Structure 1
Amino acid sequence: MLRHLEEAKRQLESYLPSQTKQHDHDAFWERTLIETRSRPLNEQLELMDYPIKQVKAYEVSYHGFDDTPIQGYYIIPTQFEGKLPCLIFFHGYAGHKNSVSHYMKWLIQGYAVFAVDCRGQGRTGDYSRYTSDEMGTWVTKGILDKEEYYYRKVFMDGVRAIDFVCSRTEIDQERIAVMGASMGGGITLAVAALDDRPKLAVADVPNLCDIPLAMKQKFEGSLTVVDQFLHRHPEYIEQVYTTLTYFDNLNNCERIKCRTRMTVGLKDLICPPMPIYGVYNRMHCPKSIEVFPFSGHDMGIIDHMDKTLAYVNEFL
Structure 2
Amino acid sequence: MHHIKEKISQLESYEAVRSMKDDHDTFWKRTLNEARDKPLHEKLTDLNYPIKEIQAYELTYHGFDHTPLHAHYILPKNHDGKLPCLIIFHGYRGHKQSVSNYMKWVIQGYAVIAVDCRGQGRSGDYSSYSSDGMGTWVTKGILDKNEYYYRKVYVDGVRAIDFAASRPEIDEQRIGLMGASMGGGITLAVAALDNRPKLAIADMPNMCDIPLAMEQKFEGSLTAVDAYLHKYPEHIESVYDNLTYFDNLNLSERISCKTRMSVGLKDLICPPMPIYGVYNQLQAPKSMEIYPFAGHDTDIIEHIDKTIQFINENL
TM-score (norm. length: structure 1):
0.99
Q: What are the equivalent positions in structure 2 for 1:92-103 lying under 5 Å apart?
A: 92-103=91-102
Q: What are the equivalent positions in structure 2 for 1:98-137 lying under 5 Å apart?
A: 98-137=97-136
Structure 2 partner of 1:235: 234
Residue by residue over 1:240-271, the C-alpha shift from the partner in whole angstroms, topping out at 9 and shown as x without a partner, is 00010000000010100000000000000000
The 8 Å contact of residues 189 and 203 in structure 1, kept in 2 or not, is answered as: yes
How many equivalent residue pairs? 315
The 8 Å contact of residues 213 and 275 in structure 1, kept in 2 or not, is answered as: yes
Give distance in 2, aligned partners of 1:58 and 1:302.
29
Q: What are the equivalent positions in structure 2 for 1:211-226 lying under 5 Å apart?
A: 211-226=210-225
Q: What are the equivalent positions in structure 2 for 1:194-213 lying under 5 Å apart?
A: 194-213=193-212
Structure 1 partner of 2:189: 190
Secondary structure (helix, strand or coil) at the match of 1:148 reads coil
Give distance in 2, aligned partners of 1:301 and 1:131.
41
Give distance in 2, aligned partners of 1:12 and 1:73.
37
The one-letter amino acid of 2:86's match is: L
Give distance in 2, aligned partners of 1:174 and 1:131.
40
Unaligned runs of 5+ in 2: none
Compute the displacement of 1:299 (Å): 2.8
Give distance in 2, aligned partners of 1:257 and 1:22.
21
Comparing 74-83 with 114-123, greater Cα deviation is found at 74-83
The one-letter amino acid of 1:111's match is: Y
Secondary structure (helix, strand or coil) at the match of 1:93 reads coil
Structure 1 partner of 2:22: 23
The one-letter amino acid of 2:175's match is: I
Q: Where in structure 1 do 4 or more consecutive aligned residues deviate above 2 Å? A: none
The one-letter amino acid of 1:173's match is: E
Unaligned runs of 5+ in 1: none
The 8 Å contact of residues 190 and 249 in structure 1, kept in 2 or not, is answered as: yes
Secondary structure (helix, strand or coil) at the match of 2:280 reads helix
Give distance in 2, aligned partners of 1:23 and 1:151.
20
The one-letter amino acid of 1:157's match is: D
Compute the displacement of 1:302 (Å): 2.9
Structure 2 partner of 1:148: 147
The 8 Å contact of residues 158 and 187 in structure 1, kept in 2 or not, is answered as: yes
Compute the displacement of 1:49 (Å): 1.2
Compute the displacement of 1:79 (Å): 3.0
Residue by residue over 1:275-305, the C-alpha shift from the partner in whole angstroms, topping out at 9 and shown as x without a partner, is 0000000000000000000000013613110
Secondary structure (helix, strand or coil) at the match of 1:254 reads helix
Give distance in 2, aligned partners of 1:165 and 1:302.
29
Give distance in 1, aligned partners of 2:105 and 2:78.
13
Give RMSD over aligned pairs. 0.6
Compute the displacement of 1:167 (Å): 1.0
Give distance in 1, aligned partners of 2:52 and 2:125.
33
Structure 1 partner of 2:294: 295
Residue by residue over 1:226-252, the C-alpha shift from the partner in whole angstroms, topping out at 9 and shown as x without a partner, is 000000000000000001000000001
Residue by residue over 1:174-207, the C-alpha shift from the partner in whole angstroms, topping out at 9 and shown as x without a partner, is 0000000000000000000000000000000000
Structure 1 partner of 2:265: 266
Compute the displacement of 1:80 (Å): 2.6
Structure 1 partner of 2:48: 49
Identity in percent: 69
Residue by residue over 1:54-112, the C-alpha shift from the partner in whole angstroms, topping out at 9 and shown as x without a partner, is 00000011000000000001000013311000000000000000110000000000000
Structure 1 partner of 2:167: 168
Give distance in 1, aligned partners of 2:58 and 2:77.
17
Give distance in 2, aligned partners of 1:252 and 1:131.
25
The one-letter amino acid of 1:276's match is: I
Structure 1 partner of 2:254: 255
Residue by residue over 1:195-226, the C-alpha shift from the partner in whole angstroms, topping out at 9 and shown as x without a partner, is 00000000000000000000000000000000
